Structure 1
Amino acid sequence: MTIENLIKHPDSATGKLAINIHKFGGSSLASSECIERVIDIICRHCQINDIVVVSANGGVTDQLFNLCQLAKDNENYQDALENLHFQLKGLIAQLLNEQNSTYLTKQLADDFALLDSWLAKALEKHRNDILAFGEIWSARLLSAVLNERICPSHAVDARDFIEVVSEQNTQVNYDVSRAKFNQIKQDHQLTIATGYIARDVDGRSCTLGRNGSDYSATIMAALTGAANVTLWTDVDGIYSADPRIVPAARKLHRLPNGVARELGRLGNPVLHVNTLKPLEEHATHLHVASSFDSETSGTEIGKFGFLAKQELSVTYSNDVLIVSSELLSSLSHADAIKRFDPICFDESKALMVIKQEQQKTVSQWCASKVGEVTFKPAAIIAVVGHKVASRGDVKARFKRALENTKTLDILSSTSEHSIICVLPDFCSPELTNLVHHEMTKDAKHIGVIVAGLGNIGKRFLEILPGQIKRQSVLENIHLVGLLSSKKALINTDGISPKQALIQFDKQAKDYDEALLLSWLKHHPYDELIVVDITPSETFSLLYREFFKEGIHVIGANKWAASSSTEYYNGLTALAEQNGSIWLGNTTVGAGLPINFAINDLRRSGDEIHAISGIFSGTLSWLFEQYDGSQPFSNLLKSALERGLTEPDPREDLSGRDVQRKLLILARLAGFTLSLEEIACQSLVPDELAQLTTQEFLAQADALDASFAEQLSKAKAQGKCLRYVAEFSAKDNQITAQVGLVFIDCDDAFANLNPCDNIFKVESQWYQSNPLIIQGPGAGRDVTAGGIHSDLVAICEQLSTKQHQVKIKGINE
């Protein structure tokens, strides 16, 4: 259970739950405000037996390094020491009550006395002990705040259990470390562990390098068999390029382990080379998320299927050296590759590319082999993705992107997950943006979930494969979910449209709204579209939750679009606020482009004055056929047998469906209107309205006399009967009604093909000669086609959509 639930139910902290590791970096703990955010994240995301790994509070490690340098240079460090002490005392006072603040401040004073002594008299001996203070203070403070306000916790010093070979070789002795940790951990308390620090086999304090707290977190996962590690940092994930350099960079929601390791090896600013090593033999998944925006989905690293393996990213470095030596073409070549893990190499040319900080160790190695060596500054740019080294199409695109750039060579990597180009000069932001565009321009992945697997839903799925082949804008959509009213099939690696219904029958599982929303909230796609082909009002109520998450909706379902004015306005505002696109071309007229036409007129600057027509295929058919040669009830039963009516024909005869369609069109035309403001004539007498369906059908002949009378009156006037919807906004007065009317026999509404819909739009531009749209208003093909039209329209809009990159200090 989460800490939040524990606070509400303190007696329920029992049972075995999978351990998760949460690591908070220095920027996440830099101030009292930041720490308050961390406390909130712990409350909502941690379980009581989880482990929290912390870095030093932001800036503290740098200040400790500065103190060591001042002491080493025999300069006065007292002012810097006092400033740091004052800063930390202030942080304690801001977060704790008086009693706890006094206790922690006393501990801090003792530490600073020891720190001063070491700086003055034993700097070299205790240098790492000095640097370790940052994490000790951070863990101690966070634990104290949790104990005071939230839940039982205890701070532990990682040097008491993590043992590594040496500071130069930070390989962990897992058996020893695990045994020591098991001795000091305390059940039913949240463990706050220090990152960055450990002890070597001789018991000396050592550090794990800059950003070593990430490494500490994954070491903890390996020690405990944790299910997940979350690195809470100041960015909201891993991107397809450095977003500070490439504004069009996309978040990589899921990264295969091997690809993530290669990004870290090549110097990704978020993934560090050692971080993933402890997880190589474990099923633990690593998450990168922002503590400054904890509700935004981050990046997950683990074992994934097809879709994640298609992702490509571009990285670069201007801090590399080309190493040339005859040693690299001899038997020593393999030794050099193993020892230095070069960025890339070419054995035939006796060269390799290394990071600048490796120059000294490479020089020493060459000297020990009595070989000459030269170093030349260079830069690299690389494309990284699952097994890209063996993908000819990726290599060809990479070369094409660089065809106008001066390059030295494209060299082999020690990993199959990258292709690396060596540049003689600085890799410019312009080049990085160019290569990123060429390599990832078609890489946006859009997930599609289809809700409703009736006749229209099945036809939509049948058409989908052909549409993907014909429409280039659909190349990167993936069918990832199928929903009926009670069953769901969700597959993050995609569902074959051709096999979708077979897979659904075999693999679908029961679900409820909470489970569905939980999955949708954490979907791993750049965009997600829900296609609602249900008639369910209950499902339409989920639109609010979809829009909160920035999910797009194609709604053939009329309920949301014809809901109360307040609710409808709230939905449209919520969709706009969160960048959700909501299309519903098939809510009226099946596949006829009436919604599109109204939107297009308004977008072009036209003003609509009136909308009218025959909006029901069922009523269109009935009144085209009804000429008095047979009773109306016989005709109605014939329509039912042909599948032209709802299972209960009163749904059609009530006019409610036509009333909702007129409301939807009036709102599209820009008018504020409610359902109650549209007069609706029901064709069902009161005495038949309360019967069961079977009772109604048995007594349907009670309709005949009334319809015969209406038909007789119409004929007497040389007219015919039609069920018409009418909306008018003329002379500053709005009127709207749906009902049975007498119309001229040569009227456009009087001469339709059976089941046709017809729409007449009068506007500023279409006055004396109104716009007429006519065609089939129902049917599997036209309705499924209309939904596909909306799908193409959304994907076209999304193809140019840019996400805001959330990085602390850039978007503030």
Structure 2
Amino acid sequence: MQVLKFGGSSVATAENMEKVIAILLAASGSGTTAVVLSAMGGVTDALISSGKLAAAGSEQYKQLLQTIETRHLDAVRSLIPVARQSALLSWVKQRCNEMESLCEGVFLLGELSPRTLDRLVSYGEWLSSFIVSGALQSREVPHVWADSRQLIRTDSSFGNAKVDMTATRELMNAYVKEYPAPLYILPGFVASDARQVTTTLGRGGSDYTAALVAASLQADVLEIWTDVSGMMTADPRWVSHARVIDRISYQEAMELSHFGAKVVYPPTIQPVMDSGIPVWIKNTFAPKDPGTLIEHEVNEDRKGPVRGISSINDMALLSLEGSGMVGVPGVASRLFQALAAQSINVILITQGSSEFSICVGVAGADAENAREAVNAAFSYEIGKGAIQPVRLETHLAVVALVGDNMKSHPGISGRMFGALGRNGVNVRAIAQGASEKNISSVVASEDVKKAVNVLHEAFFETAYKQLNLYIVGLGNVGSKLMEQLKQQQYYLLKHVRLQLRVIGIANSRQMALNEQGIDLGNWQQALQEGAPMDLDAFVEEARRHNLRNSVFVDNTASERVALVYDRLLTRSIAVVACNKIACSSKYPVYQRLKFLARDYNTNFFFETNVGAGLPVIGPLSDMVRSGDRVDRIDAVLSGTLNFVFNNYDATRPFAEVVRQAQEEGYTEPDPRLDLGGTDVMRKILILARECGAEMDMEDITNNSFMPESCMKGSVEDFYKELARHEAHFAGLYQKAKDNGRILKFVASFSEGKAQVGLQEVSPEHGFYHLYGKDNVVQFYTKRYPQQPLMVKGAGAGADVTASGVFADIIRAARV
């Protein structure tokens, strides 16, 4: 024998009912079949609302009942030939009249009792099952419609009645013996007490009905047909790459069901688990999908340590603390008795070994009642100061890892909390049972979607890691970065298992945000169609999205953008910056950003601050962390100035060479930052700080070669002054040439002091053969005292700078 149960979505419309009938006909050759049907989707809620409206004195209940009646009559007309509709239409109309009479009585009394509500909501399953039965009858399919109220015996706890298993088993077996048939159609959810008064089995009761039928008749299998293709590794509405679990144990299914996976309801599992009956979760709308098999044991070779991730939203934590609890027996018992007296269910329990505190999780709706009940229960101790009044925290959620096999895999908890911590998800409380089938953590409600995605990536998505980018600055460097991201997107996914998604882009005028990702082949149009740039709004959207593995990329030279880094880091959003302003600001600002990155377990990378695409800061950090000591740094750190002095030979104006450097993208937007030495000062300052020096810009000596008048006014005024002082620049060049030397703008750091300035370099100097826009950095350290560690290469240009930013983005994904 097999038992098939179809949920509300499966019978929501006549079209869906046709799919159900097709599945029944396909299963008809497999022995006796019992079919349990839910109410049409949404009908139970509508009936509850009708009753409540009537009790509140609102005649709007009539409109709801009319909608319910129309849905069922339309289903009959669609499913059954016109010549055979009359009797069933009449029957449905009579049931609808009964519902209206019930609600009218509730309206007149102004009261909706649990018993009356059970009677009212029972019509949903009664109607849907009778309509399917009528459709089968019109197709001359042999079957029996059985009233579940005559087969399932319960107590009189209306709304969530307790089943008398012995009586139910006897009634079902007697019925099948008296009315043998190849197919039985039954309404789910409904039952009756010893006085034949209608009761219901609680929400999810149709699943429970099917399990009771399967267990009572010792079925070979129970199939639960719904609108998904099985139990999923996570909620597919939150996790786009959630996948179907092919096999799962009863215990795992119960854990996942309890923690929010509503494909099956927790009571469903118990009767079939006791009888050892396998359960298949199948999809009515994709009947060929294999689904999920729930059984006693699952082959260990087919299981990872974690089977699924689930959550319970809208919960609260109650914490009872005080020295008066230490060593005092019965405190926990009194706490739970106080909650039980108010019919408050405890979702989660955790207690410190010191016995100084105990913490319980309850549904958010029960939070205030729970606090009042516990405070009342401990009023004497609270009055004496031995115990503190209950501390209540709301807007929380539980996220749970579930798996039978976790107990044999060390490090699961570490991976779980490490993944959450790296993404800035604060864990408020932890609970783990001795069986290790479930590890639960309490997080803020705003973090629950992020937490589930983070954990799913950590335990299931071995195929790739997702990185979500917010990019500000789309000029020379930013546009090149977008090209490189597009070019490498497929390669990174295939070979590095890294999925890059650009969620937000912005320049000084426009911004565009798309939580599903911006098309990198069409980002210019997306930006054009976006909103006017509002930096604060852009940052707040990044914080609100709260996506895992988020990275903010700053390709600007804006002080205002640099000032938002702290707001991002405190949300555990990594920052990648080619903007030098933050790291060359006052030392406390630099120090605070580094601290925030550590404190919020995220990344602050700025490799391109010094050498564009050259690996300078990374190797320096590695040396310092590994115990090396930097004694001296000598460097040419301006690709711009190197380009200028490599191309200036006094045969054409100095101003013309500088303008060429700007047009080719080698200078800052304001070239005076380069020529005046400010940019190089910032770079040597950053290197000095990375060596451990506490320095600021005013501590650096700048031996400037620029006439003072060139540094005033606008950029165009700057070029005019350069032209006016051509003799000065020609003189510098000629003097070096006469000495057999060339000009290089050199930065150095030694013995806690730093300086920058133009120097004449002889042919034997390591900087003499430095061409084009190249940079070079020489590190003299304890390990490299004579022959320095040298990093040399292109130190300017949009392409190489963008590649350095890209490299930092990849580092952010790997760390």
Give the structure-1-normalised TM-score.
Answer: 0.51
Of 742, 753, 762, 1:744 maps to 762
Is the 1:591–1:784 Cα contact (8 Å) retained in structure 2? yes
- Residue 49 of structure 2 corresponds to 174
Q: Secondary structure at the match of 2:706?
A: coil
Please tell me the residue identity of whatever aligns with 2:687: L
Is the 1:170–1:208 Cα contact (8 Å) retained in structure 2? no
Find the aligned partners of 2:692 and 2:212 in 1 and give their Cα distance.
76
Find the aligned partners of 2:49 and 2:763 in 1 and give their Cα distance.
90
Deviations 1:149-195 (A, max 9, x none): xxxxxxxxxxxxxxxxxxx97754535645876989xxxxxxxxxxx
Q: What's the CA shift for 1:718?
A: 3.4
Residues 1:487 and 2:359 are matched in the alignment:
no
Is the 1:444–1:526 Cα contact (8 Å) retained in structure 2? no
Of 695, 704, 707, 2:726 maps to 704
Counterparts in 2 of 1:363 and 1:594: CA distance versus 1, 3 Å: closer
Find the aligned partners of 2:484 and 2:680 in 1 and give their Cα distance.
28
Residues 1:588 and 2:610 are matched in the alignment:
yes
Of 746, 749, 771, 1:727 maps to 749
Q: What's the CA shift for 1:544?
A: 1.1
Residues 1:471 and 2:492 are matched in the alignment:
yes
Counterparts in 2 of 1:206 and 1:593: CA distance versus 1, 3 Å: same
Please tell me the residue identity of whatever aligns with 1:604: S
Please tell me the residue identity of whatever aligns with 1:455: N
Q: What's the CA shift for 1:531?
A: 0.9
Of 641, 646, 652, 1:619 maps to 641
Q: Secondary structure at the match of 1:754?
A: coil
Counterparts in 2 of 1:366 and 1:571: CA distance versus 1, 3 Å: closer
Is the 2:571–2:600 Cα contact (8 Å) retained in structure 1? yes
Q: Secondary structure at the match of 1:676?
A: helix
Counterparts in 2 of 1:689 and 1:751: CA distance versus 1, 3 Å: same
Q: What's the CA shift for 1:612?
A: 1.8
Is the 1:654–1:681 Cα contact (8 Å) retained in structure 2? no
Is the 1:448–1:480 Cα contact (8 Å) retained in structure 2? yes
Find the aligned partners of 2:708 and 2:487 in 1 and give their Cα distance.
49
Residues 1:382 and 2:231 are matched in the alignment:
yes
- Residue 413 of structure 1 corresponds to 282
Q: Secondary structure at the match of 2:545?
A: coil
- Residue 665 of structure 1 corresponds to 687
Please tell me the residue identity of whatever aligns with 1:206: P
Of 790, 795, 807, 1:772 maps to 790
- Residue 423 of structure 2 corresponds to none
Deviations 1:240-276 (A, max 9, x none): xxxxxxxxxxxxxxxxxxxxxxxxxxxxxxxxxx9xx
Please tell me the residue identity of whatever aligns with 2:786: S
Residues 1:548 and 2:570 are matched in the alignment:
yes
Deviations 1:21-48 (A, max 9, x none): xxxxxxxxxxxxxxxxxxxxxxxxxxxx
Residues 1:562 and 2:584 are matched in the alignment:
yes
- Residue 468 of structure 2 corresponds to 447
Please tell me the residue identity of whatever aligns with 1:500: W
Find the aligned partners of 2:211 and 2:662 in 1 and give their Cα distance.
89
Counterparts in 2 of 1:594 and 1:364: CA distance versus 1, 3 Å: closer
Find the aligned partners of 2:203 and 2:292 in 1 and give their Cα distance.
14
Residues 1:459 and 2:480 are matched in the alignment:
yes
Is the 2:463–2:497 Cα contact (8 Å) retained in structure 1? no
Structure 1 runs not aligned, ≥5 long = 1-167, 185-197, 210-273, 275-320, 342-353, 798-812
Please tell me the residue identity of whatever aligns with 1:424: H
- Residue 347 of structure 1 corresponds to none
Counterparts in 2 of 1:700 and 1:781: CA distance versus 1, 3 Å: closer
- Residue 60 of structure 1 corresponds to none
Find the aligned partners of 1:180 and 1:394 in 2 and give their Cα distance.
44
Is the 1:651–1:657 Cα contact (8 Å) retained in structure 2? yes
Find the aligned partners of 1:563 and 1:669 in 2 and give their Cα distance.
16
Counterparts in 2 of 1:377 and 1:641: CA distance versus 1, 3 Å: closer
Q: What's the CA shift for 1:496?
A: 1.4
Find the aligned partners of 1:787 and 1:561 in 2 and give their Cα distance.
15
Q: What's the CA shift for 1:720?
A: 2.4
- Residue 675 of structure 2 corresponds to 653
The residue correspondences of 1:23-34 to structure 2 (distance < 5 A) are: none
Residues 1:788 and 2:812 are matched in the alignment:
no
Q: What's the CA shift for 1:527?
A: 2.5
Counterparts in 2 of 1:176 and 1:377: CA distance versus 1, 3 Å: closer
Q: Secondary structure at the match of 1:558?
A: coil
- Residue 528 of structure 1 corresponds to 550
The residue correspondences of 1:14-93 to structure 2 (distance < 5 A) are: none
Deviations 1:180-211 (A, max 9, x none): 76989xxxxxxxxxxxxx997772443999xx
The residue correspondences of 1:197-276 to structure 2 (distance < 5 A) are: 203-206=111-114
- Residue 295 of structure 2 corresponds to 423
- Residue 780 of structure 2 corresponds to 762
Is the 2:476–2:798 Cα contact (8 Å) retained in structure 1? yes
Q: What's the CA shift for 1:471?
A: 2.3
Find the aligned partners of 1:364 and 1:775 in 2 and give their Cα distance.
75
Q: What's the CA shift for 1:427?
A: 11
Counterparts in 2 of 1:366 and 1:677: CA distance versus 1, 3 Å: closer
Find the aligned partners of 2:687 and 2:303 in 1 and give their Cα distance.
49
- Residue 690 of structure 1 corresponds to 712
Q: What's the CA shift for 1:559?
A: 0.8
Counterparts in 2 of 1:460 and 1:427: CA distance versus 1, 3 Å: same
Please tell me the residue identity of whatever aligns with 2:231: A
How many residue pairs get aligned? The number is 478
Please tell me the residue identity of whatever aligns with 1:383: M
**Cα RMSD (Å) of the superposition?**
4.7
Find the aligned partners of 1:208 and 1:613 in 2 and give their Cα distance.
86
Is the 1:447–1:527 Cα contact (8 Å) retained in structure 2? yes
Q: Secondary structure at the match of 2:623?
A: helix
Find the aligned partners of 2:809 and 2:279 in 1 and give their Cα distance.
41
Find the aligned partners of 1:779 and 1:610 in 2 and give their Cα distance.
27
Q: What's the CA shift for 1:688?
A: 2.9
Please tell me the residue identity of whatever aligns with 1:335: I
Q: What's the CA shift for 1:662?
A: 0.9
The residue correspondences of 1:344-423 to structure 2 (distance < 5 A) are: 361=209, 372-373=217-218, 382-384=231-233, 394=243, 398=246, 411-414=280-283, 419-423=291-295
- Residue 433 of structure 1 corresponds to 305
Counterparts in 2 of 1:539 and 1:169: CA distance versus 1, 3 Å: closer
Please tell me the residue identity of whatever aligns with 1:745: P
Find the aligned partners of 1:444 and 1:761 in 2 and give their Cα distance.
36
Is the 2:639–2:794 Cα contact (8 Å) retained in structure 1? yes
Q: What's the CA shift for 1:743?
A: 1.9
Find the aligned partners of 1:677 and 1:207 in 2 and give their Cα distance.
83
Structure 2 runs not aligned, ≥5 long = 1-42, 60-102, 118-158, 160-168, 191-201, 251-275, 309-457
Deviations 1:393-436 (A, max 9, x none): 945x847999xxxx997834256699422222499999573445
Q: Secondary structure at the match of 2:579?
A: coil
Give the structure-2-normalised TM-score.
Answer: 0.51
Q: What's the CA shift for 1:709?
A: 3.4
Counterparts in 2 of 1:724 and 1:327: CA distance versus 1, 3 Å: farther
Residues 1:679 and 2:698 are matched in the alignment:
no
Find the aligned partners of 2:189 and 2:537 in 1 and give their Cα distance.
48
Deviations 1:568-615 (A, max 9, x none): 111111221112211111111111111121122223322212222111
Please tell me the residue identity of whatever aligns with 1:475: L
